[in-house]
Amino acid sequence: MTDHLSRLENESVFIIREAYSRVENLAALWSMGKDSTVLLHLIRKAFVGHVPIPIVHIDTSYKIPEMISWRDDFVKRHGLRLIIGSNKQALADGMGPHQGRLTCCGSLKTEALLSTVREHKIKALFVGIRHDEEASRGKERIVSPRMSDAWSYKDQPAELWDYYNFHLPAEVDYRIHPLLHWTEIDIWKYIQREDLELIPLYYARDGVRYRSLGCAPCTGTIASTASSVEEIIKELETSRTGERAGRAQDQEHTYAMQRLRSGGYM
C-alpha cells in the first residue's frame, strides 16, 4: 500500500469493519450519488464480496426521475436489501420547496431519515459525506454520536488514532463517515481505478452535467462537455468552483448547512 487511493481505501475498509464489529443494526445511506456508490463498493470490499447490511434511500419524491429507475435496476442486479424512507404525512400535506427550501429539506430529508432510523431500529448509519464538501462537514468526526437526533457539533468527542467511540450510553446512536477524508477528485479517481458503474446524470449531455445530485427543483447542472470519468477528472483539476455550488439549499445563507446538519441532516 503505497499510493494515496489505496491508503484511503484501506482506511475506509478498516472503519467499516470496526463499525460492523462493534454495532448491531447497522445500515448504509445511499443516494445513488457518486460518493455513496463508492461507499457501497467499499462495504462490499470490506466483507469479501458481501453486503451484509441493509441500504437506506430517503425518497423525497422530488428526485430527478432518472435516479429512481436507475436505483431499482441497480438494487436488483446487486441483490441489495433496500429500505426506502419518506415523510408520507408531509408529502400528503403538500410539503415542497415552495414552502422554503430549508423547511422542505428539514421535513422531507431530515425528518424522513430520522423516522426511518427509528422505525428500523438502526443503531448506526454509514453516510458518505466528505470533509471538503462544505464547512460544517469539514468539522465532522469519522464516528459522530447523536443524542436525540442532534449533532452536538460544539462538543464532539475525542477521536484518537483509530479508536472509535462505540461505547457510549445506550440511548446514543451513530453516524459513521468512512469517506470523510476523501476529496471530490479522490472519489472520481477511485471510480476510474475501480471502473465503477455510475448513474449517467454525472456525464455531460448537450453541454451540461450534474456535479452533485439532489432533488430536481433544487439541483442545477453545470456547463460541461465532460462525458467520461477521464474528462471529469480533467475538468475538476482546473475548476475553481465548489462542488455544491449547484445545490440551492447550501446557498440560502452562510450557515444553512450547519443549521440543517445540527438537526440531523446527512
Partner 1 sequence: MSKTLENDLLKVVVVGHVDHGKSTLIGRLLVDTGKVPEDRVSSVERLCREKGISFEPAFLLDGFEEERDQGITIDTTRVNFEYDGKRFCIIDAPGHAEFLRNMTTAASHADVGVLVIDCQQGPRAQTLQHIRSLAMVGITDVIVVINKMDKVDYSQVEFDASATAVRQTLKEEALNCVAVVPISAQAGTNIFDSSDRMPWYSGKHLLKVLCELEQRDYTSKHDEQPFRMVLQDIYRFDEEQRYFAGRVVSGQINVGDDVVFSPSAKAARIKEIRQFPGLTLASAVKGDSIALTLTHDIFLERGEIVSRPHELPEIETEFCARIVWIGKEPFAPGAEYTIKIGTAESKCSISIVTAELKPEEAVLQNGMFADVLIKSEHPLAFDTSRFGVVNFVLCSKLETSAAGLVVEKVEALVQNMSPAKRAIFKETGFVERQEFENLHGHKGGVVWLTGLSGAGKSTLAKLIERRLFSEGCRVVVLDGDNLRHGLCADLGFSAADRSENVRRIAQMSRLLLNTGTIVIVACVSPYKKDREAAREIIGKESFFEVFVFCPLEVCQSRDPKGLYAKSKSGEMGGLSGIGAPYQPPSSPALRINSNEINPEASRDAVIDLLLSQRVIAAQLASKQRSTHGQVDLEPVLDIR
Residue 195 neighbours by CB under 8 Å, 6+ apart: none
If one asks whether residue 20 binds partner 1 (CB under 8 A), the answer comes out as yes
If one asks whether residue 233 binds partner 1 (CB under 8 A), the answer comes out as no
3-state secondary structure 36-78: HHHHHHHHHHHCCCCCCCCEEEECCCCECHHHHHHHHHHHHHH
Half-sphere exposure of 116 (CA within 13 A, CB side): 29
Q: Whole-number minimum distance, CB 264 to partner 1, in Å?
A: 17
Return the number of the residue (26 or 67) whose C-beta is nearest partner 1: 26
Tally the residues of the chain. 266
Return the number of the residue (65 or 161) whose C-beta is nearest partner 1: 161
Among 25, 61, 183, 192, binds partner 1 (CB under 8 A): 183
Q: Whole-number minimum distance, CB 216 to partner 1, in Å?
A: 22
How many Å apart are CA 14 and CA 206, to the nearest integer? 41
- Judged by CB under 8 A, which stretch of 27-35, 61-69, 116-124, 238-246 contacts partner 1? 238-246
CA 191 centroid distance within chain? 16
How many Å apart are CA 185 and CA 35, to the nearest integer? 11
Return the number of the residue (21 or 223) whose C-beta is nearest partner 1: 21
Using CB under 8 A, which residues numbered 149 to 168 contact partner 1? 153-154, 156-163, 165, 167-168
Identify the three-state secondary structure at position 9: helix
Point out which residues bind partner 1 (CB under 8 A).
1-7, 9-11, 13-14, 17-18, 20-21, 44-50, 52, 131-132, 134-136, 138-139, 141, 153-154, 156-163, 165, 167-169, 181, 183, 189, 239-243, 245, 254-255, 258
